[in-house]
Amino acid sequence: MSTLFDKIWQTHVVASNEDGEDLVYIDRHLVHEVSSPQAFAGLAMSGRVLRSSERHIAIQDHNVPTTPDRNTHIPNAESAVQIATLRANAKQTGMRLIDLDDKRQGIVHVVAPEQGYILPGATVVCGDSHTATLGALGALAWGIGTSEAEHVMSTQSLWIRKLATLGLWVDGQLGQGVYAKDLALGIIRQLGTSGGVGFAIEYFGSTISALSMDARLTLCNMTIEAGSRFGLIAPDQTTEAYLRPRVSGLAKSHFDQALEAWRSLKTDNSGVNGDFARLETIDANFIQPLVTWGTTPADSAHFDQIVPSSFGAEDNLLEQARFEAALAYMGLRSGQSIASISIDVAFIGSCTNARIEDLRAAASVVKGRRIATRLRGLVVPGSSMTKRAAEAEGLAQIFVDAGFEWRESGCSMCVGMNGDSLTPGQRSASTSNRNFENRQGQGGRTHLMSPAAVAASALRGALTDPREFLS
């Protein structure tokens, strides 16, 4: 008897060493322009080449401007260099590249699944911590460092220590105006930002089974914020329906045969006293729309609540100091009403919440309405494919009519290194995954929430429960 994590791991172990590490074969390696230059340089200096070029895909996303002229004009010199460097490295090594002018371009964790690159049972790595996103497809996907990337490029394998599995049993029905982002924030609120350390997390239960693939990708994306490198969901009919029209080549011709193998990719005994090393339960019926007030994703509250006074940290001096520092950075005070906190920028985008369902949810809130006049609103699709789909559905026009800027695809304000960023003291309602200090720009203040909540907050100009605008 074993877990989903165990089963995939066991089929990829090539060797083991005396230190307790396994040499794991890597099926897919995703590369972007920020974390890859040193890996390519190390590969060249050692005189090595890509061991299996078809298993590596490079995508320009972090430094990419989201303005229409980005193919000819990249204002930031460092960004321009990194984009050009990835282009040159991909050409030199024979690695496939999805460049700025490619119709598939977008954020690596959005493009990879929508192009059918990620399959159940696969091992996937990328020089980005939110690679856990791709576990939504039943894959083992995790972020790696530069030296590890070089090792994968040259050997198609990686030494890593196997983790135990934490089962997150989520049952119940998400209410109206409650989304996967709220579920993720609720889980992190319960586990804490280090609750998943040392574990791979598998999500299961009736709530998970009912989630769409876009919602599953959002949930697994946030796994890293609970301290775990791996977030997984077993493949099922939703996975099959998502992948069948997307896969190509051998994956397409052998799809039905693969389905037979994928059906075995599940934890054998997921109940109490089952195969998980640890089991946590979540009642989805009690999840409400959440918004962060502090500087970690665990610092969240309901929209009708107040900024807490201690966050339960009275007996923990270190945590109390962090709590006080968070309030100081965010410019908030204990007892302040969450709904009274005004915002300057509304950002809908990132690898967490920039897929077509996210845009539909936000558009349903703002349709026929206008955002606050003093506020800047940005909608940045997660990929060019998503952008075209949203335009074909009329979603883009809804956003433009409401006063939002409709941008090209890319990481945008989530990382604040591409021209889209907050200025010191500015406050944003954001669909991204991190509210760390300076994450969206030096001195910028970030409140995480669902796309519908960002849309509602943009209308009022203050943090707002999306249910106020949903019939």
Judgement on whether residues 187 and 216 belong to the same structural domain of the protein: yes
Q: Which long-range contacts (CB under 8 A, 24 or more apart) does 309-313 make?
A: 309/334, 309/335, 310/334
Judgement on whether residues 457 and 348 belong to the same structural domain of the protein: yes
Judgement on whether residues 130 and 227 belong to the same structural domain of the protein: no
Judgement on whether residues 299 and 314 belong to the same structural domain of the protein: yes
Q: How many domains does the chain have?
A: 3
Q: Give pLDDT, residue 314.
A: 62
| Contact (Cβ atoms closer than 8 angstroms) between residue 466 and residue 360 | no
Give the domain CATH number at 213. Answer: 3.40.1060.10
Judgement on whether residues 265 and 126 belong to the same structural domain of the protein: no
Judgement on whether residues 322 and 429 belong to the same structural domain of the protein: yes
Domain that holds residue 391: 292-469
Judgement on whether residues 12 and 109 belong to the same structural domain of the protein: yes
Give the domain CATH number at 416. Answer: 3.30.499.10
Q: Which residues contact 414 (CB under 8 A, 6 or more apart)?
A: 347, 349, 350, 351, 352, 430, 432, 433, 434, 439, 440
Assign 7 to helix, strand or coil: helix
Element (H, E) at 14: strand 13-16
Judgement on whether residues 367 and 410 belong to the same structural domain of the protein: yes
Residue type for position 274: G
Judgement on whether residues 197 and 146 belong to the same structural domain of the protein: no
* Domain stops at, among 255, 286, 317: 286
| Contact (Cβ atoms closer than 8 angstroms) between residue 351 and residue 62 | no
d(CA 367, CA 174): 23
Judgement on whether residues 262 and 281 belong to the same structural domain of the protein: yes
Judgement on whether residues 34 and 155 belong to the same structural domain of the protein: yes
Judgement on whether residues 232 and 362 belong to the same structural domain of the protein: no
Alpha carbon 379 to chain centroid, angstroms: 16
300-302 and 290-292 as β-strands: parallel, antiparallel, unpaired? Answer: antiparallel
* Domain stops at, among 160, 183, 210: 160
Q: Give pLDDT, residue 435.
A: 97
To which residue do tokens 């049972």 refer?
Answer: 121
d(CA 351, CA 105): 13
Tens-digit pLDDT string for the chain (471 aa): 799 999 999 999 999 999 999 999 999 999 999 989 999 999 999 999 999 999 999 999 999 999 999 988 899 999 999 999 999 999 999 999 999 999 999 999 999 999 999 999 999 999 999 999 999 999 999 999 999 999 999 999 999 999 999 999 999 999 999 999 999 999 999 999 999 999 999 999 999 999 999 999 999 999 999 999 999 999 999 999 999 999 999 899 999 999 999 999 999 998 877 899 999 999 999 999 999 999 999 999 999 999 998 766 667 888 889 999 999 999 999 999 999 999 999 999 999 999 999 999 999 999 999 999 999 999 999 999 999 999 999 999 999 999 999 999 999 999 988 999 999 999 999 999 999 999 999 999 999 999 999 999 999 999 999 999 997
* Domain stops at, among 258, 286, 314: 286
